[in-house]
Structure 1
Amino acid sequence: MPAGAIAANTQFSVEPISNTLPGSPGIAYRLRPEGVKFAKPLTLQFTYNDADLDSTNEEALFMAYQSNDGIWRMIPKTQLDITQKKLTVQTDHFSDWAPYAMFWLTALKDAVKPKETTSLVIHTTENFLLADLTKNEVEIAKEKVLESAENVKNWKLTGAGKLVPDAKPFLANYTAPEKVPNPNPVTVSVEVHNFIPPGKIPGRGATGKAILFKKIRIYDDTYFYGTNGGVEYNTLQHWFFEEDGEEVMLIGGFTGTIAHIGLYLPKASGPGTYRMNMQGMVYIEDFSQAGKLLYNTVYTHCISGDDINAAGSIEIEKVETVNGVKYITGNFSVGMFKFTSCSPPVKQVTGQFRVRDRRSY
């Protein structure tokens, strides 16, 4: 903080929160105190990783904040350092901050069975291409598809299967091969052109092109994969859930030093979104191969004794019974605390899963 930015001694804090920003590839943070106007601008810096770029491109990344009126606003003058993977802005206030992608690519299903088809769509926010990027900030409107044909080019598939671009430029359909391929997942990419006029934003728009990527996994029965602190993990094992009198426990495996992760939900949880809440038994644990608890979505502050919950949620997309076997499909994105100090560091963990009843094995 620059000298003279604030007159009195002030306590500052940074807290991970649930991210409500459309087109945001990372976790959001609440910077406090809110509502304080600094006499000199402060520098905020966000570090992204390769996992944050699954669906978007670093050329499309900016920082954004949410004000008290609930509106998110992006900062066109966000400085991008591709080498260091950093986004930097100057601000005279604290609030909720998150990275924002001008464009991102989504799949109706991130995981499909052999011969199954899924659709891919390019998203942006309403009227974004008409925004005046010379302003200090631009309001982020509601999410929409990118309908401008002149901005979309060159749908491409890397891997097995078939990709067919639709007559609508923002849409393509992918069909998986007859059996699970190797390598797996496959990658779909598409180019977005001319979204920043040259010279409008220093260091931006020099090429006028961003390539969006989306990975699609092909599976036979169950799966459990995602990112762990920005590093991709995947397991080829079959994973399961089990129920007792109070909760549902979903187990997934990690590669490397992490053996498995456990997701805990109230018993008989149906489709819906479940926020991190220890009282509601919605939490995640991350264990080492020796069975030692490394990370959790909740920790007890060593001085105040308060339970602190990380930002994030588990989404149950589908609960189904196939040939007499019960399956649960969903995803999660959470911040997780490491038990090292009063203010433990937080890492981001994401996952996609389809698990079956353990009793069926």
Structure 2
Amino acid sequence: MKNLFSPLLGIMLSLLLFSCNTDPGTVDPTPKPPTGAVTPIGQPEGNALTATIGPAGGTIKSADNRIQIAIPAGALSTNQTISVQPIGNNCPGGKGQAFRLEPHGITFAKPAFITFQYSEADANGSSPALLRVAYQNDKGTWQMPAVKSIDTTAHTVTVQTSHFSDWGLFQKLFIYPANSFLNPGDNLHLRVFQTVKSEDDDLFVPLPTLVSTKYIEKWSLAGEGTLAHQHNQGDYYAPARIPALNPAAITVFLNISTTIEGKVYKDLRLVTNVFVAPEGISVQINGGEWKTYPGGANINTTHNVVLGQNGTEYASVGWKGTPTGTFRWTKSADVAFNIVKGPLIYQHLYGSEPSVSGGFLKVDNSDETWAVGTFTVEPAGWINTSPPAKMGTASIKGVFRMKRVSQVQ
């Protein structure tokens, strides 16, 4: 699902850097009431679903189950055609698909419940306890009703409403960017932002601003590279070589808690992952030098393939199943690895039997542009078909960072 506001948000965040006080810990002694950001109306993305709901109440969900609207008995006096239209999410800090609930202008005698199902990607760079729901009013401004509940087991955020509008999920605090992909030796600038600053009902949602440093306890890095930070900003410097641990995780620990319906959420932290690898499939054989094979990724619902080429050599991994997950090598081609160096072939099988190699393939396809992953083949089998044919085993590590085929120019 596309977030149509992402390019606008990036521009806004860049502009904010020039307008922020040079001392990010300074607090205005006479703060002004926040005003909501006016954003474009979300454009339709896909087909609307409809249902007839009357005085007895009822429930309607989006086709992907991301949003559910539960209208209680007595909320409506007559039968109404209720529709759920997927739209672009233009809320500041917005994540994932938003929805237009119609008819606009309808009011309920009893509050209806709106529940968003959030994904791991929605919480990236933030925390599930910091996800909120907002609606866009007729002036184009976003407002946040009080959260009724957050269920971190069912991955849902619920609010109540007496009316319909355009609704979206957003992050109250977040680290930007949430996930990144770097070449070895590159660096990345990080910032910690906030939108709303309290939990008042129907609070306007402003453009994100750098969070006050009093809310930041510390920064930490798990993985290779170095991290330099001050207040609400930091810089990550990737190692010069592909690291053994990929991705590196940068965590910002917060000095705040949030209370929702009497439940206190403490130990809040923001995490961003940085995957370090050149574009392509990179392979290391027996602890030697890494070799990279540029190429592309074909991610689909049947057989996913990542294929790269370096001169006359080819490297590939393929798997059947979900685009994201951890997979073990199989005797068939369902989960497979190959390098072809002329007559020399490395694969996920070894011996004359053959036996299936140990190790695994771990893939993350949550990004819209990049397919990334790591793999080990231990032992990998090799065969040299040049007479006289020989075979043996090797230890292989690999990473890949590939653009999806639809993204390749």
TM-score (norm 2): 0.53
Matches within 5 A, 1:60-99: 60-99=130-169
For residue 209 of structure 2, what is the aligned residue in structure 1?
A: 144
Find 1:52's aligned residue among 122, 139, 152: 122
Distance in 1 between residues matched to 2:369 and 2:188, nearest whole Å: 16
CA distance in 2: counterparts of 1:219 and 1:72, whole angstroms: 39
Matching residue of 1:213: 271
Q: 2:176 is matched by which residue type in structure 1? A: T
Evaluate the alpha carbon distance shift between residue 289 and residue 81 of structure 1 in structure 2; reply closer, same or farther with a 3 A threshold. closer
Task: Compute the displacement of 1:81 (Å).
Answer: 1.1
Greater radius of gyration (CA)? 2
Partner of residue 174, structure 1 = 236
Letter in 2 for 1:219: A
Relative distance call for 1:260 and 1:6 in structure 2 (3 A) is farther
Distance across 2 between alignment mates of 1:5 and 1:99:
24
Aligned to 2:191: 121
Q: Is residue 2:304 matched to residue 1:259?
A: yes
> 1:202 maps to what in 2?
261
Number of matched pairs: 241
1:17 aligns with 2:17: no
The answer as to 2:295 corresponding to 1:239 is: yes
Q: CA deviation at 1:68?
A: 1.2
Alignment partner, residue 159 of structure 1:
223
Distance 1:137 1:81 in 2: 21
Query: What code does the residue aligned with 1:124 have?
Result: Q
- Return the structure number with greater relative CO, CA threshold 8 A, min gap 6: 1
For residues 322-341 of structure 1, what are the structure 2 equivalents within 5 Å?
Answer: none
Unaligned runs of 5+ in 1: 224-235, 241-251, 262-287, 291-347
- For 1:15 and 1:64, locate their aligned partners in 2 and report how far apart those are by CA, in whole Å: 16
Q: Distance in 1 between matches of 2:177 and 2:405?
A: 27
Moved over 4 A (4+): 255-258, 354-358
1:138 and 1:212 map into 2 onto residues whose CA distance is 23
Residues 356, 214 of structure 1: CA spacing in aligned structure 2 closer, same or farther, 3 A cutoff? closer
Contact 1:40 1:92 in 2 (8 A): yes
Question: In structure 2, what is the Cα distance between the partners aligned to 1:9 and 1:87?
Answer: 27
Q: Residues 212, 257 of structure 1: CA spacing in aligned structure 2 closer, same or farther, 3 A cutoff?
A: farther
Q: CA deviation at 1:51?
A: 2.3
1:86 aligned partner, one-letter code:
T
Question: Is 2:216–2:252's contact at 8 Å kept on the other side of the alignment?
Answer: yes
CA distance in 2, matches of 1:29, 1:108: 23
The 3 A distance-change label for structure 1 pair 357 and 195 is: closer
Whole-angstrom CA distance in 2 between matches of 1:173 and 1:152: 16
Check 1:56–1:184 CA distance in 2 against 1; reply closer, same or farther (3 A cut): same
Q: Kindly state the Cα deviation for residue 205 of structure 1 after the two structures are TM-superposed.
A: 4.0
Q: Take 1:237 and 1:259, find their aligned partners in 2: how far apart are those partners? A: 17
Q: How big is the shift at 1:239?
A: 3.3
Distance 1:206 1:259 in 2: 39
* Paired residues of 1:151 and 1:195 also in contact (CA < 8 A): no
Q: Return the letter of the residue paired with 1:142.
A: L
When the two chains are superposed, the root-mean-square deviation of aligned CA atoms in Å is 3.2
**Does 2:100 correspond to 1:30?**
yes
The percentage of aligned residue pairs carrying the same residue is: 27
Answer with 95-104 or 177-186: which moved more: 177-186
Question: Partners of 1:255 and 1:178 in 2: how far apart?
Answer: 33
Q: Could you tell me how far apart the structure 1 residues matched to 2:181 and 2:121 are?
A: 17
Q: Which position in structure 2 is the counterpart of 1:351?
A: 368
Contact 1:39/1:92 (8 A) holds in 2:
yes
CA distances 1:209-243 after superposition (whole Å, capped 9, x unpaired) = 411111111121348xxxxxxxxxxxx97434xxx
**How far did 1:108 drift?**
9.1
Distance 1:9 1:237, change over 3 A: farther
CA–CA distance in structure 1, aligned partners of residues 366 and 188 of structure 2: 25
Is the 1:239–1:253 Cα contact (8 Å) retained in structure 2? no
1:14 match: secondary structure: strand
Q: Distance in 1 between matches of 2:248 and 2:202?
A: 37
In the other structure, the counterpart of 2:379 is none
Structure 1 residues 203 and 26: alpha-carbon distance in aligned structure 2, compared to 1, 3 A threshold: farther
